[in-house]
Amino acid sequence: MQELTHYLNGAHVKGSSGRFADVMNPATGEVQAKVPLASGEELDKAVEYAQAAQPAWAATNPQRRARVLMKFVDLLNRDMDKLAEALSREHGKTLPDAAGDVQRGLEVVEYCIGAPQLLKGEYTDSAGPGIDMYSMRQPLGVTAGITPFNFPAMIPMWMFAPAIACGNAFILKPSERDPSVPLMLAELLEEAGLPKGILQVVNGDKEAVDAILHHDVIQSIGFVGSTPIAEYIYATGCANGKRVQCFGGAKNHMIIMPDADMDQAADALVGAGYGAAGERCMAISVAVPVGDETADRLIEKLVPRIENLKIGPYTAGNDVDYGPVVTAAAKANIERLVQTGIDQGAELVVDGRNFKLQGYEDGYFVGAHLFDRATKDMDIYKQEIFGPVLTCVRAQSYEEALGLAMDHEYGNGTAIFTRDGDAARDFANRINIGMVGINVPIPVPLAYHTFGGWKKSVFGDLNQHGPDAFKFYTRTKTVTARWPSGIKEGGEFSIPVME
């Protein structure tokens, strides 16, 4: 049985708490490793190392910090296959999807190589007689991130790359379900030249999370996960005086207008709804066709595509469409919600309840499901299922479809499929959701824009990656400097004003 470690001050360190969690192989249901769950004392030690290392790193000029990230990008490309395989083994997603997980994180690292430009302040010459003013962005100090199981490479890099580029040290608490890739990333960063102690990986559960939330030295916290935990982390972190950004749940609607290319829309829905077994916060989980004729045509296109999906372990080849969900508990929750959909009157058009994969009966595979004629009062509509379940809610007009997405408590992502530019522009302008796709099913912005939802999908006022990341991981200091040309006698007791 492999025993994983923490990564502290440049070394793999065995856990000392005596508590461990099982790391499962979701394809087989077997335990493949044990990961230590840190105590508060272990978290304190990681912070101690980070605090000692951070001042020298902050004093390193941004160009030299960027060079470390340049080398890190080279190493990520070198080890892409190795990282993807480790990710698939613990998470269950297919190898191409796992490589995409790494690639999307790598692209944020590439953006952060521009830190010398992004960290430039502002300057005003002669703001007053002999007075100049300038601002500078300075690092926060020791920062932290708590990341989810569904993107064990991408989301850690979304957090630690800009934090490190800005001159901070970073404590990463990854998901205990798939912790190997974060440990590998820490190794690669130090191979790239990152000083020891700047990136620490502390594995753990709620005890480690609470230690982060209450630690006086930690200045900021990033989180991605469920909305209830996001609310808890945001409230607790803010109450302790930290800068906090938390990203929570989602229920992403895709509106299909009568003029849409129905083959394109069906292909987009299948990929966005069932890719990664639906375990994406940007997955499309609700299809909203406008008009019964549109809905009937859409369902007709969807059914054969869904029924022909290839489900299997990542080892079965790159033509596998999706693999298992991450845990037995996740599988049970999906199956429970499917049953509530049936009980509450939705029409189960594609029934994946009896799916079994020969040779992998103990794995966490879930068949593909398609519901039609669901309504907004049903649990399958209101709750985030996080599984391979697509729910069709029919709307009789564009305004009704728009209202469904706008009235839902979550506001992460949405999409509209149409040939009508006016409808697309109206949708983009009016919708109260943070990321919008127009004939794009998963509108995740590229690294140089920012990622973030609205409503109960986000807590905090700055998004992830892009320019917002450099604002989140720095403080602005403004300096007013006066260099008088001669000596003046006496003091001035009135507030200075412009003359």
Q: Taking the CB of residue 137, how many other CB atoms lie within 10 A of it? A: 20
Nearest to 153 by CA among 198, 104, 117: 104
Query: What sign results for the dihedral spanned by CA atoms 166, 86, 91, 366?
Result: positive
DSSP code string of 383-423: S---SSEEEE--BSSHHHHHHHHHHSSEESEEEEE-S-HHH
With contact defined as beta carbons under 8 Å apart, do 474 and 166 qualify?
yes
Nearest to 38 by CA among 176, 177, 203, 180: 203
How far apart (Å, rounded) are the C-alpha atoms in residues 237 and 215?
A: 10
Q: Which of 112, 166, 246, 281 is catalytic?
A: 281
Nearest to 207 by CA among 34, 20, 49, 22: 20
Task: Specify burial of residue 214 (Cβ count, 10 A radius: 0-12, 13-18, 19+).
Answer: middle
Judged by DSSP in three states, 247 sits in strand
281 is a catalytic site residue: yes
Distances in Å between the alpha carbon of 139 and those of 56, 127, 169, 237?
12, 26, 9, 19
The two beta strands, 252-256 and 413-417, are parallel
Nearest to 393 by CA among 294, 261, 300: 294
Alpha helices in 280-397 (DSSP H): 292-307, 328-343, 379-382
Structure tokens at 392: 């069709």
Nearest to 7 by CA among 219, 215, 179, 213: 179
With contact defined as beta carbons under 8 Å apart, do 330 and 309 qualify?
no
Q: What is the DSSP letter of 127?
A: E
Residues with catalytic annotation?
Answer: 281
